[in-house]
Structure 1
Amino acid sequence: MKNVLSIAGVDPSGGAGILADIKVFIAHKVYAMGVVTATTSQNTKGIFGMELVDSKIISDGIKAIFEDIKVDAIKIGVVPSVDIINAVASTLREIKNRPPIILDPVMACKNGDIWLEGEAKEAIVKYLFPISTIITPNKFEAQEILKFEIKSKDDMIEAAKRLLNFGVKAVFLKGGEIDGNSVDLFLGRDEFKFFETKRLQTNSTHGSGCSLSSAIAANLANGLTLNDSVRLAKDYVFNAINKSFKVGSGCNPINHFYDFY
């Protein structure tokens, strides 16, 4: 069995963050590990508070895992301060034979609300992008980084190309709704591919971004190519949304274990 590490925050409702990552890892038959960066007061209706974990304990936690366990892939989610970003980046840079890193640069919600501001946002781009195998921003995060509005497929290609210039090896850009479909773009150094699916009329999308990046991580750990890892992760999240069940009264979580039942 392969081992995958999530470095992310805690959503107590279980729909997103490190708890969602663990569910995804289990669903993909990899051994789940996690280092917590922050804990929140949160449910399906929103985030009401956040407490950050000390950056040293985060760094020490990562080191402890690598000193003992072979890690086959790393997923990075919420890293909500400059200190935490620096701690994660510097710790991972010291690791020899570093496994693939899948970075979900969490800066914005699906509705476009930007919650990570200023220096922390810039630090993610400066310190984490260059060590990442692939990043998975949504449209609003890409727009915030690039100061470039994304309205079409051509805009998506241009945005993804610009993101590659920050040193990341590949980009999976979640474009949201374009011409009535949900459109995403995978762009590597030598290839690109659009993924289009019908737009599901549902609010059961809580945690979909976290789950996509952790599914890519699990697929890479299991030995799949980056192209296949992205494609299968996209299918997994689509089915998890389509086969969701009611949990709370807000933005409902996806069904991570749809294939189990």
Structure 2
Amino acid sequence: MSTYVMSLAGLDPSGGAGLLADIKTFEAHRLHGLGVCTALTAQTDSEFLGVEWLTADKIIAQALPLLEKFPVAYCKVGIVSHPAVLAEVFPALRKIAPGLQFILDPVLKASAGYVFHSAISRQWEAVLPYLRLLTPNFEEVIAMSGEPHGEKAAQHLARHCAVLLKGGHRMDRKGWDILYDGDARIDFGPHSDDVFPKHGSGCVLSAAITALLAKGLLLEDACREGKAYTYRYLQSSPSLLGWHGMQNALQNSSDFGHHLTCSIKQKGQQ
């Protein structure tokens, strides 16, 4: 198991989504997060104002020195200007790290409504075979496949790579996610409705799954545990921005306080 994991994603100044959210998620899983910027955005947690895209060459230039130095096995991918960019980036990175596994969260539009691009299904076909996992919601899987029904669209894309179809945007069975991996279908139910909406929750889920794969979990287990982590993140704050790894942080703080108290008592007894 490598303790290094990479993100190729956009820089969201609010820290709730994209590159910063990925790094926070990686570190909450006790992994070293390496970040490569694919876009500079102007946004808050509730408003998207604009984006400046980085070219494939600039993305590759950031990633190669990291891959040459650190043993990275898994890489989460977020927004890019067009799938053609990934068709250049993926093979270039694989030359340096032949076994590098990509997990793509295909963000086609911001939660505030800004549309990043409208690539058609055949433009994704060159990218999908590089992926270990694709994590679209219902709107995204339909746009990427050209199929009008979400589950059939996911099955169509699953011919190329594993697909975790997120259920947050579906009208029926809301919150149910479905993993299509080869001939297998695994359903993951919602933990509870007692959560608060979060800016960037899809980024957090895909980053958590990436981290768990890097830690050695099988895909089904990584998706299940990633969903559980995201659920805790959604519970962490009533605002659109959440807290990462708070349970671990509080536990560590409690342990430290207990240890310090015991040490003081022991010194007083000497």
C-alpha distance 195-110 of structure 1, shift in aligned 2 (>3 A): farther
Higher Rg of the two aligned structures: 2
| Residue in structure 2 matching 1:209, options 202, 206, 226 | 202
TM-score by length of 1: 0.85
1:159 has 2:160 as partner: no
1:187 has 2:172 as partner: no
Task: Assess if the C-alpha contact under 8 Å between 1:200 and 1:242 holds in 2.
Answer: no
Residue aligning to 1:80? 81
| Per-residue Cα deviation, 1:63-104 (whole angstroms, up to 9, x for no partner) | 111111100311011111356323312313424532321111
DSSP 3-state at the match of 2:141: helix
Task: Assess if the C-alpha contact under 8 Å between 2:103 and 2:134 holds in 1.
Answer: yes
Residue aligning to 1:173? 165
Amino acid across the alignment from 2:167: G
Structure 1 residues 140-159: aligned runs within 5 Å: 140-150=139-149, 156=151, 158-159=152-153
CA RMSD of aligned residues (A): 2.3
Compute the displacement of 1:192 (Å). Answer: 1.4
| Residue in structure 1 matching 2:212, options 202, 216, 219 | 219
Structure 1 residues 63-78: aligned runs within 5 Å: 63-78=64-79
Q: Which runs of 5+ in 2 are unaligned?
A: 251-270
Residue aligning to 2:260? none
| Per-residue Cα deviation, 1:4-57 (whole angstroms, up to 9, x for no partner) | 000010100000000000000010010110110111000012210111124322
Aligned residues: 247
Residue aligning to 2:226? 233
Give the Cα separation in 2 of the matches to 1:51 and 1:13.
16
Relative to total residues, which structure has the larger helix share, 1 or 2? Answer: 2
Residue aligning to 1:256? 244
| Per-residue Cα deviation, 1:144-173 (whole angstroms, up to 9, x for no partner) | 1223344xxxx52x22210112x22x1100
Compute the displacement of 1:188 (Å). Answer: 0.4
Give the Cα separation in 2 of the matches to 1:122 and 1:113.
23
Task: Assess if the C-alpha contact under 8 Å between 2:72 and 2:97 holds in 1.
Answer: no
Amino acid across the alignment from 1:188: D
Task: Assess if the C-alpha contact under 8 Å between 1:6 and 1:76 holds in 2.
Answer: yes
Give the Cα separation in 1 of the matches to 2:72 and 2:116.
31
Task: Assess if the C-alpha contact under 8 Å between 2:94 and 2:100 holds in 1.
Answer: no
Give the Cα separation in 1 of the matches to 2:194 and 2:225.
22
Compute the displacement of 1:114 (Å). Answer: 4.4
Give the Cα separation in 2 of the matches to 1:135 and 1:240.
21
Task: Assess if the C-alpha contact under 8 Å between 1:148 and 1:159 holds in 2.
Answer: yes
DSSP 3-state at the match of 1:216: helix
Give the Cα separation in 2 of the matches to 1:143 and 1:24.
28
Residue aligning to 1:135? 134
DSSP 3-state at the match of 1:35: strand
TM-score by length of 2: 0.83
